[in-house]
Amino acid sequence: MPNIVIVGDRDSGKTTFLALLYAAQVKSGSDRADDFRFHVAFESLDEISGVFQQVMSGNFPDSAAKEGIRGITFHLGYRKSGFGILARLRSRGWTPGAPASLRFVLLRNLEDEMDRFRKGSSLTNAMLRDVLESDAIAILVDGRKLVLADEDRQLGAMGKYDSAVEALLAAMQGSRGRGSRRSLHAIFVFTKFDSVDPKVLHAANLEAAPPEMKKTGPRAAYADALLDHNLPNTMARVRARQNRGATFTTPSYFFSWVRTDAASPGRRERIRLRRSDGGGWEPDYSKDEYLGLLECFWEIARDAGK
């Protein structure tokens, strides 16, 4: 089964991201439920449905829900090749086929994990073995922690995160061994993009919103302008041609945001709700980005299954 590892710093929006991914998936499958199968592994079912219910009612995951989720299995129905989910939603043309499974492994405490790995006492952790053998890595980048100046990055959380991610990528490549033909995919997901510092975007000469998904060139340039500065070691690793070990394919980029209502005395910040297409309410979030991301996962599952 193809594995995708999801990494993110503490408080970077990991749980919210998984809940919104689940929401996008449930939603896109609801009109043709039989074609689009989605399951969550038994051990994480409670947690994922808990956080799902929370975001569906406008709450960020609470601290009780934050701790549980570690691994999630999606079973994905296949679409006809060249027929994306966005097109499918428009036209309703959907070819049922054998479902593929995709397992997500959520790696938290990345820095501690990589410290241990560097000291050689790793792989006692079964999770880390799954991680090293993954086909893809989704790297969450906290939009609120993006900075302008090099000193800020080195002193702040981003610098440490950058080294930890870079170390993990190196380990994933190394564990593939020489001449491995399976490709490695890197997917960058900017979280909390609704609250990225406008000064940071301005300094990088960027618009407030990223170019739309189908404009892959400008979109990559937009993301790279932020990533090259904030995750320089990670980006160098992703781009490097390897003479041994696996090489990364061209990265994909997605942007996650929600609309919020500010906290008031006695009330936490809330996710704003909007009417959904099929009636009812859903969180006001970057749904197209999540559908694009699901599509990207499908492609990885399909390639890995070949």
Ligand X SMILES: Nc1nc2c(ncn2[C@@H]2O[C@H](COP(=O)(O)OP(=O)(O)OP(=O)(O)O)[C@@H](O)[C@H]2O)c(=O)[nH]1
Residues lying near ligand X in the complex (CB under 6 A) are found at 8, 10-16, 60-61, 66, 191-192, 194-195, 256-258, 260, 269
Q: Encode 99-115: b = buried (16+ Cβ within 10 Å), e = exposed.
A: bbebbbbbbbebbebbe
Q: Which is nearer to ligand X, 107 or 246 (CB)?
A: 107
Smallest gap from residue 186 Cβ to Mg ion (A): 22
Q: Which is nearer to ligand X, 61 or 84 (CB)?
A: 61
Q: Which is nearer to ligand X, 57 or 195 (CB)?
A: 195
Which of the choices Mg ion, ligand X, none does residue 192 contact, using the CB cut-off of 5 to 8 A by kind? ligand X
Residue ranges that bind Mg ion, judged by CB under 5 A: 14-15, 66
297: left (phi over 0), alpha (psi -120 to 50) or beta: alpha
**Residue 136 tokens, joined:** 């893809």
Distance CA 144, CA 197 (A): 7
Q: Encode 250-270: b = buried (16+ Cβ within 10 Å), e = exposed.
A: ebbbbbbbbebeeeeeeeeeb
Q: Which is nearer to ligand X, 5 or 100 (CB)?
A: 5
Which of the choices Mg ion, ligand X, none does residue 13 contact, using the CB cut-off of 5 to 8 A by kind? ligand X
In Å, what is the CA distance from 40 to each residue of 4, 47, 75, 132, 267?
Answer: 14, 10, 8, 22, 31
Express the helix, strand and coil content of the chain in percent, nearest 5 each: 45, 20, 35
Q: Which is nearer to ligand X, 15 or 252 (CB)?
A: 15
Which of the choices ligand X, Mg ion, none does residue 230 contact, using the CB cut-off of 5 to 8 A by kind? none
Smallest gap from residue 183 Cβ to Mg ion (A): 29
Smallest gap from residue 54 Cβ to Mg ion (A): 12
Which of the choices Mg ion, ligand X, none does residue 159 contact, using the CB cut-off of 5 to 8 A by kind? none
Q: Which is nearer to Mg ion, 70 or 116 (CB)?
A: 70
Distance CA 273, CA 59 (A): 10
Smallest gap from residue 260 Cβ to ligand X (A): 5
Distance CA 247, CA 234 (A): 13
Distance CA 233, CA 162 (A): 6
Smallest gap from residue 274 Cβ to ligand X (A): 15
Which of the choices Mg ion, ligand X, none does residue 95 contact, using the CB cut-off of 5 to 8 A by kind? none
First to last CA, the chain: 12
Which of the choices Mg ion, ligand X, none does residue 16 contact, using the CB cut-off of 5 to 8 A by kind? ligand X
CB atoms within 10 A of CB 39: 13
Smallest gap from residue 29 Cβ to Mg ion (A): 24
Smallest gap from residue 267 Cβ to ligand X (A): 13
13 close to 139: Cβ distance less than 8 angstroms: no
Query: Residue 28: enclosing H or E segment and its boundaries?
Result: helix 14-29
Which of the choices Mg ion, ligand X, none does residue 258 contact, using the CB cut-off of 5 to 8 A by kind? ligand X
Q: Which is nearer to ligand X, 234 or 256 (CB)?
A: 256
Q: Which is nearer to ligand X, 97 or 198 (CB)?
A: 198
Smallest gap from residue 279 Cβ to ligand X (A): 25
